[in-house]
Structures are given as C-alpha cells and as structure tokens.
Amino acid sequence: MKKIILVLFLAVLSNTTIKAQSLLPFADGDRVAFLGNSITEAGYYGSNIWLYYMTRFPERKISVINVGIGGDVVGQMNERFEQDVLPKKPNIVVLTFGMNDSGYSEFNETNADETAKQRVAKSQQNFVLLADKLKAQSKIKPVMMSSSPYDETMENKNNYFKGKSKAMEQVIAFQQEAAKKNGWAYVDLFHPMTEINVREQKKKPDFTITGPDRIHPGRGGHLVMAALFLKSQGLSGKPVASVHIDTKNGLVEAENAKVNIKKKSEQGLSFNYFASALPFPIDSVNGVWENPQTQADVLAVYPFIMEFNQENLKVENLENGNYDLMIDGKKIRTFSADAFAKGINMALLSNTPQYQQAVSIMYLNDLRLELEKKIREYYWLHFNYFKAQNMLFDDSQQAFDKVAEKAKTDWFVRSKMGTYQTARFPEVRAMWEDNIKQLTERIYQINKPKSHLVEIVQLK
C-alpha cells in the first residue's frame, strides 16, 4: 500500500512539474533586449529578427534592443544588469552566454578538464544570481537562448581548443534545465548550427557556419541564428503571401493577400494584388571583421527561403508559351506557362516593387544598427575598463586621458577609442539615440504594403 501511495505521489509531482514555455511571436509594443557577449554586440542576428518583423508584420511595432558586450561571461552580465539592461525598460530579455564562460587557451593546458569543470561551475553560480534578478522583475519575461557553437571540427589551424565544445554543452545543459525549472522559453542555436557544420564539412572540411576564428558568426551565420529564433516562435512556413489563380475558373486561393481579377484568359490575365507583408531582403555583403561570409552564402546550406521567404504566384491553364510578368507596368521577368503552373516565388525577384520597398527598409535598419553599435562600444569601455577604475560613466577629461593611456598597451581598448572620443559627450549620444528613433519611426512609415497591378502578358 505504501508503495502505491508513493507511486501516486510521484505521479502527481511529475504532472505539476513546471515545463519550459513555448516562445510566442512578439506582440505590438514588445521591447525585446538581447543580453549577451560579442556575438550579440555585433547586432546582426537581433537586427535580422527585427527586419523580419518589420517586413512580415508591418502594423506590429516592436523594439529590439542590443545589450551585448564583447568578452562578457554571465557574471559580467549579472554585474551590469541594473545599469545597462533595466534602464532600457524591456518586457522581454533574451539571455545568451557560454562562448566566453567555457574558456579558450585553458584547453591547451595539461589540467584542461579540471579547469573547464571549474569554469562551468562558476558560470552556473553566476547565472543563478542573474536568474534571481530576472525572476524578481515581474514585468520582464525571460527567454533562455544557447550560444551559437564554437566550431571545433572545421579544418583550420586558428583558435583550436580541443574540448571547448564539450564544456559549452555543459553550460547549455544547465541553461536548458533552468528554463524548464523556471517555465522560461528556450531557444537552441548550438545544436542545429553544429549539425550544419558537421554535415557540410563531410563535403568541404574547411566549411563553417561560424567563421574563420571558429567563434564569431559572419552575416550568414547571424541569418541562421535569426531563423532558428523565429522558428522557435512558430513562424517557419508562414508565407509572405500565396496566390493561386486558374485562368478558366478565376481565383482559387489567396493567403495573406487580397486579389481582384480584372481580366483573365488563356492568353494572360491582370489583377490587383495586395499582400499583407513584404518579402525578406537578402544582403550580399559581409560585415563581421575578418569574416567574409554573407547572407547569400548560407542559402545553400540552410533553407531560409523555403521556411521564411515565400511569395508564391501560381497561375494554371495558360496556353503554352512564354509570358512577361509585369508589375505596375514594369517588366519583371519572362516565364513559361509551365513555370507559372508550378508556381513562382516572387520573393526571389529583386526587381519587384515590393522587394525594392523591403530593401529600403533593410538599409534604414542597417543605419540604425550602425548607430546602435557605436553606443555599445561606449558601454563596452565603461564596463570593461572604467568600472574597475571606479569611474563608471565618468566621461571627464581625466577619464579620457586615463583610458587613452591604457589604449597604448591594450588593443581592445584602442579599438574603441575612435568611437569614445565623441561618444563621451552626452550631446553626441543623445543625437545618436534621436537618430535611431527617427530611423525606426521612418521604417514604420514606409513598411506598409501597397497594392500593385500584376499583368501576365503572352509573348507573340
């Protein structure tokens, strides 16, 4: 009888165990702070996530706030939480760490395993302190996100630290457990990105979704990080728009779009087309220091287009032959009747007016990011240098002279001095903040989809 009671008691406990929450899509008005290290400070994955929302949900105004600082471990994130995170007034904080916590050169020493064990234990202890602070903020919903991977398997002599990935997995293990225990949403970047590396390195040993230094993802890696985050929000497979027209019977289906057919025949048709969203623009430039990777580079190894960028136009029962796709009187491209019957993804056509509209949003968002990165460099100096000197947020001439002297012997400090020369003046920072606000407001003015005249014209 006692055994039966015990079994029943354990069953009740298991049924009442808190489970990790699903990560819901962001809602209008959300202020989302990404708290992390240099990968977060680079800003690209957060900016990609915001760009997706800017183009996919044009009426849903959110804010994505970068509170990353290069070199940070979770203990440092905990120490700056009150001065750096809370003043931004986020209602969602996405916490990610592990790359720095697990260490680097320690893995080349004889006692590497013991050192790694100690670093992981220290990371967990400091994480508990930060987790308690997050839980004490009733207006903040925490989200736990694993680090992107350290690429230990690529064929490259740079920054090879044998066993670092295992230490990172130990950090990830307590992150997952904490998310489950606290009922937080959890996003896994580490394992899906590692799987891509392992798969592609079988074909090309020096391939990496991360970068030449094994640590910092390039623009392509950041796009994959954004995609995995959006996928965790259940947004994969949601089309920009989808239109299916039969020239004999008329409109068959329109998803996330409105269609008003003006003319139709087996020789072509015309219709007014209003999609409720814009395609996601893909950039082809690099942006991470010493990492040539672009967004376009990763499309061959991650199905971003299939998952997040489908603006489908399917037209059946056209006469055999070729047809010009015209939008607002401009020729976009020529397709065969068979191609139209199979369906065309207009999100791949960079000369459509809707894609060009999205590109203008992307460039404004890039400008916003560049200003935000300047502000993060200012915070980097204060939390990585001035705080230890008991001069946090002291931007006096004495402080400038002191850090300028440090820059002579410290490359990291020196790399921030160009920005700090002007950022130390509050008027300059206020101007940057105001410019960021103006850029964001402008984006939300021009990101509204427009109605377009689409014509499919048979070539004679």
Two structure tokens written together for 104? 């680097």
pLDDT at 4: 42
Query: In the prediction, which pLDDT does 289 show?
Result: 74
What dihedral do alpha carbons 211, 213, 215, 219 form, nearest 10°?
-30
Both tokens of 159, joined, read: 């920054």
Question: CA angle 153-157-162, nearest 5°?
Answer: 50
Structure tokens, 322 = 């070729």
Please, where in the chain does CATH 3.40.50.1110 lie?
23-232
- What pLDDT score was predicted for residue 290? 76
> Given this model, what pLDDT does residue 388 score?
95
| Sheet containing 185-187: order of strands | 63-68, 31-36, 92-97, 141-146, 185-187
pLDDT at 6: 39
Mean pLDDT per 10-residue segment, the chain (460 residues) = 40 42 94 98 97 98 98 98 98 98 93 94 98 97 98 93 96 98 98 98 95 94 98 97 95 96 93 98 81 91 98 97 98 98 98 98 97 97 96 96 97 96 97 98 98 96
CATH 3.40.50.1110 is the classification of domain 23-232: yes
Q: Could you tell me whether strands 92-97 and 185-187 are parallel, antiparallel, or unpaired per DSSP bridges?
A: unpaired
Region for residue 449 given its phi and psi (left: phi exceeds 0; alpha: psi -120 to 50; beta: otherwise):
beta
- pLDDT at position 213: 95
For 281-339, write each residue's pLDDT tens digit.
Answer: 998 777 777 788 899 999 999 999 999 999 999 999 999 999 999 999 999 999 999 99
Dihedral of CA 305/311/317/322: which sign?
A: negative
> Closest Cα partner for 126 from 115, 134, 136, 137?
134
